[in-house]
Chains A and B, each alone.
Chain A
Amino acid sequence: MPVATASQTIGPYWHLIEHPEMADLTRFGAEGERIEVTGRITDGEGLPVADAAVEIWQASPAADARFPGHGRAATDPDGRFRFVTLKPGPVPGPGNQTQAPHLSVVLLARGLLTALRTRVYFAGEPLNETDPLLSAIEDSAERATLIARPAGPGAWTLDIRLQGEGETVFLEV
């Protein structure tokens, strides 16, 4: 039986396929609650990760011709990224559980031989308490690395730490 092709790093020059408009998931005219999601990525030395590709995918609201559900952003020299999208809603989880609204995140960069995967949840969502992933993380500081904080009207922010103190919870998907 064939085995899945191995991953290799996206490298420092992936910007040849970068199209900044991909960071705006509302660009095709999607209607709904528009939000901005920003963050800053740092490495184990606290230095900005300035050459990363950040991708999001959200199963909710369902992707259609006007809402791609997927976005990609490049980090800037300070390691910052920014998406404009629609606020996700809850989606089914394992068994009869419900998952709190979240974005699936893939990080690709020089120095990452395979994609790093994490999620962005939203502070204050009642479903966060019973979300299967969040509620399985016993350490509240670790759990907090997955939960974006409000940063103004319709704006959310969550920093990502690849390594060391405050390290983001990364997922084996």
Chain B
Amino acid sequence: MSDPLPFRPFPAGTQPPLDHAAYGSTQHRHPKRALRRLPHTVTETTGPAFAPEHFPPILDLTKTGRGEPLGERIIVAGRVTDEDGRPVPHSMIEVWQANAAGRYAHPRDQHDAPADPNFQGEGRVFTDAEGRYSFVTIKPGAYPWRNHHNAWRPVHIHFSLFGTGFAQRLVTQMYFPGDPLLALDPIYHAVSDAAARERLVSRFDLDLTRPEWALGYRFDIVLRGRGATPFEEGEHH
């Protein structure tokens, strides 16, 4: 039996490090020993497939309460492909976010901002055959955190993707264009490659925008490609 096709390593600087002093929570949570390189096997090249019957889609985050949540309604859409431009079809995407006031529907979020009983902040979509996805939500608010004096997270939506192999598992955050907090955010700036960082920022898209209803933002996501290239020395970490 031939070995399964591995995923390619990440180009240098395009993924954040585990040890990032500007983000205080990494201090006691990053391993001190170098990671041990693992050639991809069937364990890494295969991955879970989620069935919509078991994980029902939540396509409109404004419709999960009794009434409409407060905030600016938006449409978020995009395409999930791999590094070779191939669509990632029928793949589950989980999203979650704070409400319009910058507070999560989470018992540990004690930010002094109003909760919104009509907004839970959880969404779940499946890509179509071309890797496209779309959901409706409200634009989340910025919120303070205690990383440093007067620290505020830029407005963001969390994304979780599985791809086709467990080595592609990706959890990331989508940001909004023009947010002045991006320049100050150590989590965003942990990605040293500027182009890779800027790809985390969605684009306002007038074509996606629905007249008289909601602004549209486009966020395309790229998962690792499969390739025969072996791990190269000093690629990352």
**Which residues does A use to contact B, with CB under 8 Å?**
1-17, 28, 43-45, 47, 49, 51, 55, 57-59, 63, 65, 68-70, 91-95, 99, 102, 104, 106, 108-117, 119, 132-133, 136-137, 162-164, 167-173
Contacts and interface: CB of A to CB of B under 8 A. Distances in A.
A16 B104 contact: yes
Contact of B104 (A6, A13, A93): A13
Q: Give the top 10 A-B pairs by smallest Cβ distance, nearest first.
A: A111-B25, A70-B48, A113-B16, A111-B29, A44-B28, A172-B35, A16-B96, A8-B173, A13-B104, A43-B28
B37 interface: yes
Nearest to B167: A173
A45 B222 contact: no
B166 interface: yes
A99 B36 contact: no
A110 to B, nearest CB: 5
Contacts, number: 214
Contact of A170 (B31, B50, B97, B162): B31
Nearest to A103: B43
A116 to B, nearest CB: 7
Contacts of A55: 169
A2 B83 contact: yes
Given A6-B199, A17-B122, A109-B29, A171 B35 contact: yes
Tell me whether chain A's interface is mostly helix, strand or loop, or mixed: loop
B48 A57 contact: yes
A85 to B, nearest CB: 13
A125 to B, nearest CB: 15
B1 to A, nearest CB: 6
Nearest to B33: A167
Nearest to A96: B1
A113 B48 contact: no
Nearest to B1: A92
B48 A92 contact: no
Interface string B171-182: 111000000000
B190 interface: yes
Given A5-B223, A69-B48, A106-B166, A15 B29 contact: no
A5 B51 contact: no
Contacts of A45: 28
A2 B108 CA distance: 38
A59 B48 contact: no
A56 B42 CA distance: 14
B133 to A, nearest CB: 14
Contacts of A114: 15-16, 18
Contacts of A93: 41
A68 B33 contact: no
Contacts of B46: 57, 59, 63
